[in-house]
Structure 1
Amino acid sequence: MTSGVRAGLTTRSPRRGLTAAGTAAMLLGLVVGWIVVYSVSLLGALWRFREPNAPAPTLSMGDQWADLAVSAAQVAVGAVAIAAVYFARRRNLPAVWPARSGTARQAALTWCAAIGAASASILVLSRMDIVRFSFSVPASVESDWLAVVSALAVGLREEPILVALPVLLLVGRLPIWAIMALSATMRGLLYLYFGGGGFLWALCWGAAAVWVFYRYRRLWVLIVIHGLVMNIQVFDRVIPSDNAATVLQWINILILFSALLWWVTPRALEAFLPNTVAVRYGDATVETTPMVAEVVLNPEKLDPDESRREPPVKP
């Protein structure tokens, strides 16, 4: 019996060691790939972090086209990497990845709520001088429309590689919280140009992006929100109005904080109304209250008019 147990341990240990080594190799390859793909953005973020008062850069038409070319290369790399990983893991993914739940609307509201919460928290910390969060001065460009296209494409540049790829590659091999922490750290480094507060800001909603994709499996929602909602103020470059920046900023605030209110309100009501029982059917929530029902042993014999028809019984 003892020899059999030892034989089993000797056969399983190399396999476990190989699995751990393979996961470590995947992590290393993913991080190195991120550094290579986002090398220009990382260098720019680190430079702005060290020189927060440096003047805004000036981009020529050639610089803008080069930026769009890099963006196209990042999108292509993300698409190829996701397709390759999905093809390699298509058989075991259903066993380690829960089935998709919820709607696209719920996914969008959840992530907008996370962005709103992160923004509110970092702004408070910045006001208290705990962290530095400063919006960098927009770069001077020759073509405003190319700047708009570049800003709207940021979701395509980041969400497939920073969210979908690590989940597809590491789900089932690492707990989801570890994948969230890994992706959020890389995202935070890309936003160091806002200061230390920018790192914490992107860390929060970057982790939420991984969780939203893990649960709802709607990558396009993350891409649209990141490109259109978070960067909506870029349209100020092409809208001929002095009030465009203010209006667009308020639209951004209303979207994010309305989503945050939508997400917090039902949970707050559930916490402060303990007598309410929440019964969930899939993603739908039905609010009910406790009920007391009478149990009838023989319901077929129950006749509400029976007492009226039978004569009273004499004592």
Structure 2
Amino acid sequence: MRRRHLTETWLVLGVSLGASAVWAVLSLLRKLTAGQPLGEQTTAMNSAVTPDRPWLDLAYQLAQIGLALVPVALALHLLTRDDPRARFGMGADFTKPWQDLWRGVLLTAVIGIPGLGLYFVARGLDLNTTIAAANLGETWWALPVLVLASVQNAVLEEVVMVGYLFKRWGQAGWSTWRIMLTSAVIRGTYHLYQGFGGFVGNVVMGLVFGWLYTRTKRVGPLVVAHTLLDVVAFVGYALLKDRVGWL
């Protein structure tokens, strides 16, 4: 049973965030060998695919968001196959919306403010690229899609990296601290495409989120916090990039 659980988790990661970690490492190696300091390079996120055909670009964006949630459905399917109430056990439900909301808002401030400072320090030390967080152009659907992308990122990462993995690795006999550290390091690794600052910041975020989850057994606040952090980053960048020079 222990081996089955471990094999299952690595397969789920292999078709989701584990694969993202591999691509992120390769992306970082490409940037490190480009002959230009990381601080002078830019990482573009949420980019248009067919900017000359906005209707098709919207279809691409929505398809990417939808397909990225398939591993969430897979993880929940695997858990509920053993326990039909598994999603309630991890707090992936709407039974405590106000509690999840206020905890998520508080967590946003705890993570977001120091994280922004770390980003600027890392960029100044040439340890991180400049993040261009939104590049969808001037379309009517750009901001709604950025919000949807924020929700998708949050649901994918928190349900898989915390709710699912903490359950399965616990069933495999791993200690709480081993689970927290492994999950946090993987989270940091699939952000390496941003640079070393992105890695460190997301490892810390993973440890904080993991610790809170062990106390509450609810991914709801984590999803709220992660969504708000990404909305501020994506939508804020889209609205301010032409008005604020240091972005």
- Tell whether the 8 Å contact from 2:69 to 2:152 is kept in structure 1 after alignment: no
How far did residue 139 of structure 1 move? 5.5
Q: How does 1:169-248 map to 2 (within 5 A)?
A: 169-171=168-170, 173-236=173-236
Which amino acid is the alignment partner of residue 166 of structure 1?
A: L
Does residue 37 (structure 1) correspond to residue 16 (structure 2)? The answer is yes
Which amino acid is the alignment partner of residue 186 of structure 2?
A: M
Return the TM-score normalized by structure 1.
0.55
Q: How does 1:1-315 map to 2 (within 5 A)?
A: 22-38=1-17, 41-42=20-21, 44-49=23-28, 50-51=30-31, 53=41, 56=44, 58-60=48-50, 61=57, 62-87=59-84, 104=100, 105-106=102-103, 109-110=106-107, 112-114=109-111, 116-117=113-114, 119-121=116-118, 123-124=120-121, 127=124, 129=125, 132-138=127-133, 140-141=135-136, 143-144=141-142, 145-171=144-170, 173-236=173-236
How far did residue 199 of structure 1 move? 1.1
Assess, with a 3 A threshold, how the Cα gap between structure 1 residues 232 and 111 changes in structure 2: closer, same or farther.
Answer: closer
- Measured in 2, the distance between the counterparts of 1:217 and 1:236 equals 31
Which amino acid is the alignment partner of residue 199 of structure 1?
A: F
- Measured in 2, the distance between the counterparts of 1:215 and 1:106 equals 12
Assess, with a 3 A threshold, how the Cα gap between structure 1 residues 228 and 106 changes in structure 2: closer, same or farther.
Answer: closer
How far did residue 241 of structure 1 move? 10
SS in 1 for 2:69: helix
Question: Deviations 1:6-27 (Å, cap 9, x if unpaired)?
Answer: xxxxxxxxxxxxxxxx435423
How far did residue 174 of structure 1 move? 1.7
Assess, with a 3 A threshold, how the Cα gap between structure 1 residues 115 and 242 changes in structure 2: closer, same or farther.
Answer: closer
Assess, with a 3 A threshold, how the Cα gap between structure 1 residues 124 and 190 changes in structure 2: closer, same or farther.
Answer: same
Assess, with a 3 A threshold, how the Cα gap between structure 1 residues 216 and 196 changes in structure 2: closer, same or farther.
Answer: same
How far did residue 190 of structure 1 move? 1.4
SS in 2 for 1:218: coil
Which amino acid is the alignment partner of residue 153 of structure 2?
A: V
- Tell whether the 8 Å contact from 2:131 to 2:194 is kept in structure 1 after alignment: yes
Question: Deviations 1:143-162 (Å, cap 9, x if unpaired)?
Answer: 51323321232111110000
- Tell whether the 8 Å contact from 2:107 to 2:225 is kept in structure 1 after alignment: no
How far did residue 214 of structure 1 move? 1.3
Assess, with a 3 A threshold, how the Cα gap between structure 1 residues 83 and 64 changes in structure 2: closer, same or farther.
Answer: same
- Tell whether the 8 Å contact from 2:188 to 2:201 is kept in structure 1 after alignment: yes
Unaligned runs of 5+ in 2: 32-37, 51-56, 90-98
Assess, with a 3 A threshold, how the Cα gap between structure 1 residues 237 and 136 changes in structure 2: closer, same or farther.
Answer: closer
- Tell whether the 8 Å contact from 2:104 to 2:221 is kept in structure 1 after alignment: yes
* Count of residue pairs brought into register by the alignment: 212
- Measured in 2, the distance between the counterparts of 1:141 and 1:119 equals 23
Question: Deviations 1:169-210 (Å, cap 9, x if unpaired)?
Answer: 233622211010111111112111211221111111112111
* CA RMSD of superposed structures (Å): 3.6
SS in 2 for 1:153: helix
SS in 2 for 1:171: helix
- Deviating above 6 A after TM superposition, structure 1's stretches of 4 or more consecutive aligned residues are none
Identity in percent: 19
Q: Which stretch has the larger CA shift, 160-169 or 36-45? A: 36-45
Question: Deviations 1:258-297 (Å, cap 9, x if unpaired)?
Answer: xxxxxxxxxxxxxxxxxxxxxxxxxxxxxxxxxxxxxxxx
Return the TM-score normalized by structure 2.
0.68
- Tell whether the 8 Å contact from 1:111 to 1:208 is kept in structure 2 after alignment: no
